Amino acid sequence: MTSTPTGVSRGRSTRALVGAGVFGFGVSALVDVLLLHHVLQWHHLVSARVSPNTVDGLRTNLLADGLFSLVMLAVAGVGVGLMWRAERRTAAPLAVRPLAGVVLVGVGLFDLFDVVVDHTLLGLHHALSQGGTYDPYWALVSLGIVALGVLVYRSGRNSTRGGTDGPA
């Protein structure tokens, strides 16, 4: 037995895990825009810089939301592509739990990126348009999602050494 097949298999598994994280990052951004920006209307991407209380301001905010959504759709698509390529190139199916765990890590990392970069460093918007009062809680929830993802990933890796965990 040579180490090449195992190395190749690990490379494909790593590619799939990276794809899962990228997918989670992109999907979290899309859910954020759809739920928080459009349905609940808590804020828009640039609502701390351009007031959405005028027609022109709302148009600018919706344009920024739309462009951001297109970019994040592409990011999620790249993640799906990486997972799909990795799955097609391996004889054994990829384990579901580790992939799901890394998707959750990607979700939490987007939320953490959002609160640190968009809310704090760039000041583009806040969790609620009234100000940054809820931003620390958003960061804690984000860290909780990352921690949950790590737990799900580890539970899948521990139960599937050398195999798959079957349907989730």
Cα distance between residue 49 and residue 17, in whole Å? 36
pLDDT at 153: 96
Give 94's strand partners.
Answer: none
Q: State the residue for tokens 């054994």.
A: 92
pLDDT at 160: 56
- pLDDT above 70 (res 165): no
Residue 143's identity, in one-letter code, is L
Q: How confident is the model at residue 158 (pLDDT cuts 50, 70, 90)?
A: confident
Percent of the chain scoring above 90 in pLDDT: 72
Mean pLDDT, the chain, rounded, equals: 88
- pLDDT above 90 (res 46): yes
Cα distance between residue 119 and residue 64, in whole Å? 15
Tens of pLDDT, residues 129-146: 776 688 899 999 999 999
H or E element that contains 140: helix 135-159
Phi-psi region at 2: left, alpha or beta (left = phi > 0; alpha = psi -120 to 50) = beta
pTM, full prediction: 0.85
3-state helix, strand, coil in the chain (%, to 5): 75, 0, 25
pLDDT at 90: 77
pLDDT at 91: 73
pLDDT at 4: 41
* Other beta carbons less than 10 A from residue 90's beta carbon: 16
pLDDT at 11: 64
Residue 35's identity, in one-letter code, is L
> Which two three-digit tokens encode residue 128?
């609620």
